[in-house]
Chain A
Amino acid sequence: MQQTSADKVFNPPTLSSREFKRDNPPPTEDYREKLFELEKAGELEVQRVPEPYVELETKYGRIKKIPYQMTWHHKSCGQCGHIPGYSTAIFWLNRKLGFDYHDPRDQTSCTAWNYYASSTSNSAAQAGIAVRNFSQAKIDGYFPVIHCGTSYGHYKETREQLLHYPVLRRQVRKIMDRLKMPFVFPEEIVHYSEWVHAMRDRIAEMQVLDLSNVTVTVHPACHYHKLVVEDAVYDRDLFDGQRTAVISGLVEALGARVGDYSTWHDCCGFGFRHILVSRDFSRSFATTRKIERMKEEVNPDVTLTHDTGCVTTLDKSQFAAQAHKRNVGIPVMSDAQFAALAMGAHPYIVCQLHWHGVDMKPLLEKMGIDHKKAWAEFEVQAERIKAGEIEYISWEEADA
């Protein structure tokens, strides 16, 4: 038998022996240079990230600034409409960390859910809507933080178009003139999950629950890390810098376990139009490609994601799949809700978990949360509203 010398045998590098290197220049442009050039030429105004800020590394190494506070919360239609504990948890985290923020009424949706579903719009309208929201943020004196993954992705696309097409800038200028508003664009487009990632050590300092026995799977949102990829946050110490660090970084900081699975990169199946009027597709994809893979390969206690559509699709698709005896049954929530629970937030008054489909009780028990007591407390408040004693649950009651 022929002997093979050791030096001729190919040994793939182990994870620990691989060194993360970034020796090539980024394959994408630094959009900020163009943005500042346009500002210098008087075409638009760039809103700077307020100090102090945290510096995070992005996919190709550019440093991204994430503000601590003075944030203008660009809310999400699906979060506010159907998963209200999602937005509430983001605000609650800001309050607990003692940060100044603004929850505006002078904000519209980015309208991109509709655009990707129906294309009943065009670049000028989409850019006009983006710039109107950004200008309002500047007028209000706060820096925009985007709650929705699709808004974040679409605004990055809009930024690319505004930077490269003078005709679009002219159209938006005319729109803003008619609205009597300035043409403003922010220096960074910041997703709330980047803010959570930047704050993860502070969040962990205020953690009250032991999560060491909790296993999590992570679903990254397509419009966060696949659409204009260079803005997404990566960390060379997480997944060897090959996957976005948001959510996973938080889970590690909170002491829970991140379980890997083979379809991590897959979409959730939301489909924009499909989730509303063609759900057989969304449900099939979500259950067979995501939930069942997670269940078979990791069997997690919960799956965390950072976008409206992903929470909705992964959570709501599981009910009907049970009728087909599919291997489902994983609670789904956002990173913000998970972080808030870890810090002691009320599961129903703050995280509003009763709006979710999959049974959360086994997870809550594992996290050490008395869900029966918590639900009774929620019902007391609901009865007070019904009886006309109070109009609504105030932040003071939620903070208590």
Chain B
Amino acid sequence: MSIYADAKYSEVPVETKQALFDEVKADMRYEHQLYGCYECGICVAACPSARFYDFSPRVFAQVMAREDVDTFYELLNDSVWDCSQCFSCTRCPRQNNPGAVITIMREVAVNHGLQSAKEALKSYSRIIYKIMSTGTQVAPDMLQPDFFPDWGPDVKQVSENLDVWRRCVPPETMHTTELAWDVSEKTRLELYMIWKLTGNLEMIEKIDEGIFMILEEVMEELLEENGYDIDDFENLLEEDEE
């Protein structure tokens, strides 16, 4: 039963909640992240998200330890994306790591294509495309005034002078505008192989089908140019599950 008087998601079958909870608990990393909780609140005091959201790492530690699947489901949908993933909560005197539990919970939310995960990552998808297709997370050409209006007039100046200013940076690897640095084709190819072999494209498909289709096309093209068939790269993790 949920710890909240105004508990949500009562319409979701408890079996669904239990299955997701079990999946989090079955992750190999889980047993090294929670060792019990004093309820001392040090994690909350250290947590940046707790200051601005209705968010508490202590609640995560408590709910997971109590195996309260109703509140777990609520946290999975309504709270998990507020975490800053800074791991300030590792100041815990019991050596709990609520931030790492949240990483696992997010992974489960993505793998199941939860609507709340889709919402949380809606405007973030283009970043997923950038990192998975180029091998660098952000690029100079992302510094656009309409994307960063709150960063001041310098962003406009950078975007207006981008090509020349990038060539004013001495390291030769950094004369790029669409990538943070010049990643070689060989290395990009190896990255695509890793994404395929670990089932990462399947994860993206569950969260954003549009980005998945574009990514698959980009990867297929480079793999084919180098004599590979994208279907030759099976998901190695599925082999392990079998």
Contacts and interface: CB of A to CB of B under 8 A. Distances in A.
A185 interface: no
Contact of B173 (A105, A115, A129, A153): A105
Contact of B139 (A81, A91, A119, A356): A81
Nearest to A179: B190
Nearest to B143: A82
Interface stretch (A198-206, A211-219, A295-303, A390-398): A390-398
Interface in A355-399: 355-357, 378, 381-382, 385-386, 391-395, 397-398
Q: Which of B29, B53, B86, B188 has the most CB of A within 10 A?
A: B86
B170 A398 contact: yes
Q: Which of A78, A270, A274, A397 has the most CB of B within 10 A?
A: A274
Contacts of A393: 167-170
Contact of A277 (B106, B124, B183, B237): B124
Interface string B168-204: 1111111100011111101110110111011110011
B169 A120 contact: no
A124 B138 CA distance: 23
Contacts of A398: 170
A119 B150 contact: no
A84 B107 contact: no
B84 A270 contact: yes
A222 B124 contact: no
Contacts of B193: 175, 178-179
Q: Which of A161, A174, A178, A223 has the most CB of B within 10 A?
A: A178
A316 interface: yes
A223 B167 contact: no
A349 interface: yes
A106 interface: yes
Interface stretch (B4-12, B15-23, B43-51, B59-67): B43-51
B170 A122 contact: no
B86 A267 contact: yes
A115 B107 CA distance: 9
B84 A121 contact: no
A88 B152 contact: no
Interface stretch (A7-15, A30-38, A239-247, A280-288): A280-288
A281 B49 contact: yes
A269 B84 contact: yes
Contacts of B32: 164
A352 B86 contact: no
B116 interface: no
Given A114-B127, A129-B194, A271-B48, A103 B199 contact: no
Interface in A72-87: 75-82, 84-85, 87
B170 A174 contact: no
Contact of A167 (B48, B52, B142, B240): B240
Given A281-B52, A357-B154, A120 B110 contact: yes
Nearest to B169: A84
B164 interface: yes
B187 A108 contact: yes
A87 B136 contact: no
Contacts of A153: 87
Interface of A: 75-82, 84-85, 87-88, 91-92, 103-109, 111, 113-125, 128-129, 132, 136, 153, 161, 164-165, 167-168, 170-171, 174-175, 178-179, 181, 222-223, 226-227, 229, 265-267, 269-274, 276-277, 279, 281, 283-285, 289, 316, 319-320, 349-350, 352, 354-357, 378, 381-382, 385-386, 391-395, 397-398
Given A222-B88, A271-B86, 5 more contacts: A105-B182, A114-B132, A120-B204, A267-B48, A382-B161
Closest 10 CB pairs of A and B: A319-B152, A119-B106, A81-B180, A108-B135, A77-B137, A125-B198, A116-B85, A392-B167, A80-B180, A222-B86
